[in-house]
Each structure stands twice: as structure tokens, then as C-alpha cells.
Amino acid sequence: MADTVRDPPPDGTDFHELEDGEELFPEPAAAPEESQPASLPAEDISTNSNGPKQDLLFDDDPEDLFAEATEEVSLDSPERDVLLSDGPSPAITPITPPTSVITPRIGHAHDDMFTHSSFDEIEEEEGGDSFDIHISVSDPEKVGDGMNAYMAYKVTTKTSMSLFKQKDFSVKRRFSDFLGLHSKLASKYLHIGYIVPPAPEKSIVGMTKVKVGKEDQSSNEFVEKRRSALERYLMRTVKHPILLKDPDVLQFLESSELPRAVSTQALSSAGLLRMVNKAADAVNKMTIKMNESDAWFEEKQQHFENLDVQLRKLHASVESLVCHRKELSVNTAQFAKSAAMLGNSEDHTALSRALSQLAEVEEKIDQLHQDQANGDFYLFSELLGDYVRLLTAVKGVFEHRMKTWQKWQDSQMLLQKKREAEAKLQFTNKPDKLQQAKDEIKELEGKVQQGERDFEQISKTIRKEVSRFEKERVKDFKTIIVKYLESLVLTQQQLIKYWEAFLPEAKAIS
């Protein structure tokens, strides 16, 4: 199975650690791998600096993933930048520094999510151009007023690829521009089997709040959520080697003025047409029964169905966790206030001081919980949400294959009928009708051949796409979950710091 999932890379070095079974979490039994850098990112780090990293809190695991994280909890770690600027190294994904997770609060922390994974798309590019592009979406600005207002985002591209005219440029785009890009790409590529990443969803409620001008926490969160979603969307799109070269994408990234994508509005004629099409598709899906000759497709479809169900479940649980952590943060803050009051009324001075300290500790912890909740959300929950939506796109691609097959079969059946009609006509004396029939048959034969070719093509494309998708999925999940775990570790370490500071105060009560 491993072979069909991954196309054998021309240059095998990048995936050697996966193929050797040396994964992020090696089995304890795999003794020979212990000598090598045990974890993907550590490969980068340990080659550069094995010595000083040895004196950790937990000596058992000198080459563990979080070598950097345990060394110092203080927020500035200058040596990290040195490591990262090592250029496009053959190793995969160095860890992003802990700083980016803690600061800023609602962070651009997850910006870095895609930066480093871009380094190893090298062997995928047939053009020889190293895949080096980083897109960031920032500075959401409200333009206009009232119901016509919209948020403009700055899309900055930093790249060294020859595909682009400049190395570093930015444009202003609004949400409907993104939707417009997606609909163009979808109409061009979906039906021939390419998995086009879905754009973030429209949210009428969210946007209305922003338009109306409520400058409150929830609308800020909404804008941040959207900004981060747009960034991930663009990065996913450009990671696709075919989509990257698409002129619409290039125009989107480069040109300063973009024609307004009106057809993305929900109530426009195009919108209505889309809805009708969706309904028609749903009916068709139920009526097409395909003769699946290729077990691979059947298996894959089943696999994606299962994955979809599981991911949705996981997503729901993670969302619930985010909710409860936010609640925990609020309740902790309230408790902190209450404890401070209690400390005030306590007349034994040492105890009073200790209680005030407790209140402070709890306040800091509440902040910690808030940050963790954000981490939970932006790292984990959004990843899952993205994949749930991506899977819909994947399923769509499979459906298109079925439709192609259907078309092919239809033209084949039509050809059959015409041939029968022609055979019948041969016995009548209508030469011009016969000629007409012969012409039609020729045409249909061409169509049938085309249909067959289309079907083969889409099947081939889908195979490639699916393998690419799976590779991306594996990478994405690993990277992000590792990051998430890192954030958990950091939270715990902060907790340790706070409680350690409190303990002597508590002991000082006499």
C-alpha cells in the first residue's frame, strides 16, 4: 500500500527517514535508530549543536523533539533564528521557535506553519525551480461604511521563483476576490480531477457584525479567524504545482487591480445557478451506478468516507475542548478576583499576602489557559476543519470521475443505437439519410474515443492527486500536531514556573 500512496521520489533522500521507519515517535524497540537523530526536526538541530543541548531538565531524551523548548522557557531564543536561516536544507521542517507560539496573543504564530514545509517540495517540481514561496495575509482593514463596507486584506508574497516578476510584493484583496479565485480554479480544474482547495466559508452573520462596526472581541476574533483561514487557503493553493502556474493565481497574487468577482455573491444569478447545479448533482449522484473496474478507486473512496466521519468527530471534540478551556479561563479569572478579595479581608498578614499571591498566580494561569485555548483552536481545530472541507473537495473529484464515466457510457450507448439505426437504414432506400447516419456515427465514434480518453485521464490525475493529497495530509498532521504538543509543553512549563514562585509564599505563612 505504501507504494501506491507515495510516488517514488526521484531523489530518495528527503523521505528516507519515513521509509526507514524512523518516524517522529520511534518505537523503543527500534534500537539502531536511536543513534541517529530520532525525530524529524531534531535532525536539523542536532547536527548543528549537540553539545550544549545536552543539559536539559530531562536527561533521558537527549535527542528529543523538544530539545529547544526545554532549554529555556524565557521568550527570547536568538540561536533559533540561526538554525532556521540555514536555507532550504534537505531535512524536513525544523521546529518553529517557541516564541512564535507564545507571542503575540492571538497570533500570527501559525503563519510559520507552511513556511518550512515548503522547503521539501523540491523533488515534486519538474521545472527545477525550487519551491520557495511564502504568502501571508495581514492587516485587515475596514474599507467603506455601512452595509457596503468590506474588509481588505494585504496579501504579501515572498518568493524566489522565476515564475513571478518580483521577489517580494503585496496586493490588497477582499474576501470575494478569494472566492472568485476559487470558483475560477474550480471551474477549470475540478472536472479534470485536480483537488482544488476549498475557500473559507462565507459567514453572513460575522460579516454583518463587522460591517455594522462593532469593535468588540467577537468581531475581532472573527476577522482573525478569517485572516488565518485565507492565509492557509492561499498556501494550500500554491503548494499545488499545477495550480501555482495557473494565470488566475498569478494574477491574483501579483496584479494590483482585480476585476470584482460579482458571481460570488450569494444572491446573484450565478449564485442561484450554483445552488440549482448543486441540487442537480445531488440527484445525479444517487442515480449513477458505476461499474467500478478499478479496486483502487473503490478502496480510496471508502477510505475517504471513513476519514471524513472520524475527522468530523475529532473536530467536534476539539471544538468542545476549545470552548471548555475558554470557560476555564474565565472561571479562573473570576476565582482570582475572589481570592484577592478574600486575601484583603484576611487579617493575618502572612496569610493575606499568600492569598493575594494565589490570586495573582491564578490570574496568570487564566491567561495561560486563554493562550492554550487559542493554540487549541488555531492549530488543531482549524486543521481539522480544513481537512473536513478538503475531503469534500476530494469526494467531489471522485464524483467528477463518475460523471466522466457516465458521459462516456452515454455516448457509447448512443453510438450503439445509431449503429443499429444505420443497419436498419441500409435496408431502406434512403441514401442521404444513410449518409447522415454514417456521419453521425463517425462523430459519435470520435466522441466515444474522447470520452474514454477523458476517463483515463481523470483516473490518472486522480491517482496522482490522491497520492499527493495523502502525502500532504501526513505532513500537515504531523507538523501541526507536533506544534500543538509543543504548545502544551510550554503551558506546563509556565505552570511550573508560576507554582514554584508561589510555593515559598505559601510556606512563609506562620
User: CA angle, 155 as apex, 234 and 123 as ends, to 5°?
Assistant: 40
Interaction between residue 16 and other proteins (CB under 8 A): no
**Among 102, 135, 196, 358, which residue interacts with other proteins (rule: CB under 8 A)?**
358
* Site residues (CB under 8 A) for other proteins, limited to 398-457: none
Pick the stretch among 61-69, 214-222, 246-254, 398-406 that binds other proteins (CB under 8 A). Answer: 61-69
**Among 208, 218, 284, 317, which residue interacts with other proteins (rule: CB under 8 A)?**
317
Interaction between residue 500 and other proteins (CB under 8 A): yes
**Residue 218 to residue 206: CA distance in whole angstroms:** 9
Helix (H) or strand (E) segment spanning residue 415: helix 382-427
- Those residues whose C-beta lies under 8 Å from the C-beta of residue 170, and which sit 6 or more positions away, are 154, 155, 156, 157
Interaction between residue 509 and other proteins (CB under 8 A): yes
- Selection from 174, 144, 197 nearest residue 387 by Cα: 197
By C-beta, is 122 or 339 nearer to other proteins? 339
Interaction between residue 482 and other proteins (CB under 8 A): yes
- Those residues whose C-beta lies under 8 Å from the C-beta of residue 265, and which sit 6 or more positions away, are 176, 271
- Selection from 26, 17, 161, 6 nearest residue 473 by Cα: 6
Q: How far is the CB of 401 from other proteins (least distance, A)?
A: 21
By C-beta, is 320 or 450 nearer to other proteins? 320
User: CA angle, 309 as apex, 308 and 311 as ends, to 5°?
Assistant: 65
Pick the stretch among 16-24, 173-181, 195-203, 399-407 that binds other proteins (CB under 8 A). Answer: 16-24
Interaction between residue 483 and other proteins (CB under 8 A): no
Query: Among positive and negative, which fits the CA dihedral 334, 336, 342, 344?
Result: negative
How far from chain centre, in Å, is Cα 140? 21
* Site residues (CB under 8 A) for other proteins, limited to 270-309: 303, 306-307
Produce one character per residue of 419-457: b if its CB has 16 or more CB atoms within 10 Å, e if not: eeebeebeeeeeeeeeeebeebbeebeebbeebeebbee
Binding mask 462-481 toward other proteins (x if CB under 8 A, else -) reads --------x--xx--xx--x
Q: How far is the CB of 445 from other proteins (least distance, A)?
A: 41
Pick the stretch among 60-68, 141-149, 228-236, 268-276 that binds other proteins (CB under 8 A). Answer: 60-68
What order of strands is seen across the sheet that includes strand 133-143?
133-143, 150-159, 168-174
By C-beta, is 387 or 408 nearer to other proteins? 387
- Rg of the chain over all Cα atoms, to the nearest angstrom: 29
Interaction between residue 390 and other proteins (CB under 8 A): no
Binding mask 66-105 toward other proteins (x if CB under 8 A, else -) reads x---x-----------------------------------
Interaction between residue 160 and other proteins (CB under 8 A): no
Spell out where 193-277 has E strands: none
* Site residues (CB under 8 A) for other proteins, limited to 104-123: none
Whole-angstrom CA distances from 291 to 4, 64, 297, 401, 489 are 22, 50, 11, 12, 51
Q: How far is the CB of 386 from other proteins (least distance, A)?
A: 16
Pick the stretch among 44-52, 193-201, 279-287, 324-332 that binds other proteins (CB under 8 A). Answer: 324-332
C-beta contacts of 438-441 below 8 A and 24+ residues apart: 441/415
- Those residues whose C-beta lies under 8 Å from the C-beta of residue 353, and which sit 6 or more positions away, are 343, 505, 508
**Among 92, 210, 355, 444, which residue interacts with other proteins (rule: CB under 8 A)?**
355
Binding mask 325-354 toward other proteins (x if CB under 8 A, else -) reads x-xx--xx-xx-xxx-xx-xxxxx-xx--x
* Site residues (CB under 8 A) for other proteins, limited to 212-251: none
Spell out where 99-167 has E strands: 133-143, 150-159
- Give the interface size with other proteins as a residue count (CB under 8 A): 74
* Site residues (CB under 8 A) for other proteins, limited to 27-56: 38-39, 42
